[in-house]
Amino acid sequence: MTVATPSPIVGRGARDGADLFRDWYGDLTQASARGEKAAYAFVMGSMVELLRSFDMNVVFPEINSLQTAVRRVSDEYLSEAEDHGFSPDVCGYVKADYALQLRGGEHPMGRIPQPSVAVLTNACNTYLKWGEIWERMYDVPMITVDVPGTRGAGMKPSARGFERDRLYVEQQLREAIEVLEEVTGRPFDIDRCRDVMRLTNEMNRDWRRVLELNRNSPAVYDAMMDGTVYLGVANALRGTEQGAAYFKDLVEELEYKVEAGIGVLPAVDNGSKREQRLIFVGVPCYPIFRRFSELFSEWGGVFVSSTYTWFASGGLDVNFDYDLERPIESLAEGLLLGVQRAVDAMLFHDTALLEAIDEFDADGVVYHPIKSCRTVSTGLADSRRQVLDNRDVLCLYIESDMMDKRVVSEAQLKNRIDAFFEGLDSRALRRASAAAGGAS
């Protein structure tokens, strides 16, 4: 094992990501202070290429909400929404945002502008309910783009079927442009849109390279912990010069780490212990985010891949470049493919998961269904059975939430996680023993 030479670029992705995020919230706060409004969009199918071509401020309410949990104040927001009648059993993101709106945009990272328009797809049904809340609160236009998904497990559309879906999305995007022109009072600038799409193309290529680089051993980043930072930048700064530059730098950093054999865990870097390579399925436990990660890393666990980086990247993991010669048609194709990829990663992920286990040489899979998100969580118990039937990996199934610390029990999580690693260690010993016996 090569011992890494310290380099200033190691850790740059985490540092720059945090800085960019702070700046982004700073920009939103200034926009709010100037009385400007924003387009509200969601990470799955954000259509940010259109929004940026109108130079709109873009707010991602999902990111705002998860940040309240990471900053350990989500319970205040949830309580406020529940005081207004929301059930404890509905999505915590929605409730935190509802309270944020009641508070005039007050957020631990700054102040969020009010919406002038909401842009959403059916990638998540809660998006629709969420949009309806803003519609009632602010009476702002709500642009819904209906994106037909994969019709069934393994069902690939015919060329005609795909074109039919693509055209339907394109027609809706053209309708969306009409609404955005009305909201902003300015005509659509197709060349500006091309510029944004070009930058997204660059980010797309680099994002896929980032995901791919973790196939190396040792893993060069933790797909749940670091991956969430990368995801934040990928969404918030999609289609911007800053975002494209960030991912270019990140690829450089991670390639350097691969070259130098620098892994996530110090023990692994020193060659004293093999990392336990894990795949994360679900959404992280943000109310105890760092501690949640430590519960795995203390045992030498590293998340080499995460379905979160598949479905929450806005389609960046799809091998697709926008065709700048036919921007609207291509934007529709990208949106269709991106949303389908995201939804497939939640509804029909079992085959992709089996492939990932092989490609990333995974030792185990950690399923983390959460109360707040039924899109992600409904199929996990069943998908786990499929994985156990088809691969010789250990699977851990732990439930909590991404927002609501009332259903997060650190002690119970620790017990389950400890037992999981004891199982992994015991299996490794048995294998080593069997190999030694076979050798003698």
- Minimum distance from residue 18 beta carbon to another protein (Å): 31
Q: How many residues bind another protein (CB under 8 A)?
A: 57
Closest CA to 61 of 316, 235, 211, 183: 235
Q: Is 385 in the site for another protein (CB under 8 A)?
A: yes
Q: Is 375 in the site for another protein (CB under 8 A)?
A: yes
- Minimum distance from residue 217 beta carbon to another protein (Å): 31
Is the Cβ–Cβ distance between 30 and 13 less than 8 Å?
Answer: no
Q: Which CB sits closer to another protein, 206 or 399?
A: 399
Is the Cβ–Cβ distance between 350 and 386 less than 8 Å?
Answer: yes
Q: Is 371 in the site for another protein (CB under 8 A)?
A: yes
Q: Is 369 in the site for another protein (CB under 8 A)?
A: yes
Sheet hosting strand 301-306, strand order edge to edge? 301-306, 276-282, 364-368, 394-397
Is the Cβ–Cβ distance between 312 and 238 less than 8 Å?
Answer: no
Is the Cβ–Cβ distance between 88 and 404 less than 8 Å?
Answer: yes
One residue of 73, 90, 324, 328 binding another protein per CB under 8 A: 90
Q: Is 333 in the site for another protein (CB under 8 A)?
A: no
| Max intra-chain CA distance, the chain | 80
Q: Which CB sits closer to another protein, 99 or 109?
A: 99
Residue indicated by tokens 């949830």: 78
Stretch that binds another protein, among 3-11, 81-89, 290-298, 420-428 (CB under 8 A): 81-89
Stretch that binds another protein, among 72-80, 219-227, 316-324, 341-349 (CB under 8 A): 341-349
Q: What track of x and - describes contact with another protein for positions 121 through 150 (by CB under 8 A)?
A: -x-xxx-xx-xx--xx-----x-xxx-xxx
Report, in angstroms and rounded to the nearest whole number, the Rg of the chain calculated over CA atoms.
Answer: 22
Q: Which CB sits closer to another protein, 178 or 241?
A: 178
Please, what's the b/e burial string for 186-220 (b: 16 or more CB within 10 A of its CB; e: otherwise)? eebeeeebbbbbbbbbbbbbbbbebbebbbbbbbb
- The first and second tokens of residue 245, run together, are 């530059």
Q: How far apart are CA 233 and CA 339, in angstroms?
A: 19
- Minimum distance from residue 207 beta carbon to another protein (Å): 25
One residue of 383, 394, 396, 417 binding another protein per CB under 8 A: 383
- Minimum distance from residue 348 beta carbon to another protein (Å): 5
Q: Which CB sits closer to another protein, 199 or 408?
A: 408
Q: Which CB sits closer to another protein, 153 or 435?
A: 153
Stretch that binds another protein, among 64-72, 120-128, 184-192, 291-299 (CB under 8 A): 120-128
Using DSSP, state whether 366 is helix, strand or coil: strand
Show contacts with another protein in window 165-194 (CB under 8 A). 168, 171-172, 175
Q: How far apart are CA 234 and CA 88, in angstroms?
A: 31
- Minimum distance from residue 130 beta carbon to another protein (Å): 9
Stretch that binds another protein, among 12-20, 57-65, 248-256, 381-389 (CB under 8 A): 381-389
Is the Cβ–Cβ distance between 301 and 421 less than 8 Å?
Answer: yes
Is the Cβ–Cβ distance between 328 and 157 less than 8 Å?
Answer: no
Q: How far apart are CA 356 and CA 319, in angstroms?
A: 16
Q: How far apart are CA 37 and CA 267, in angstroms?
A: 49
- The first and second tokens of residue 102, run together, are 């009641």
- Minimum distance from residue 199 beta carbon to another protein (Å): 28
- Minimum distance from residue 140 beta carbon to another protein (Å): 12
Using DSSP, state whether 121 is helix, strand or coil: strand
Q: Is 382 in the site for another protein (CB under 8 A)?
A: yes
Q: Which CB sits closer to another protein, 199 or 336?
A: 336
Task: Please give the residue ranges that form the binding site for another protein (CB under 8 A).
Answer: 84-87, 89-91, 94, 122, 124-126, 128-129, 131-132, 135-136, 142, 144-146, 148-155, 161, 164, 168, 171-172, 175, 346-348, 350, 369-371, 373-375, 377-383, 385-386, 397, 399
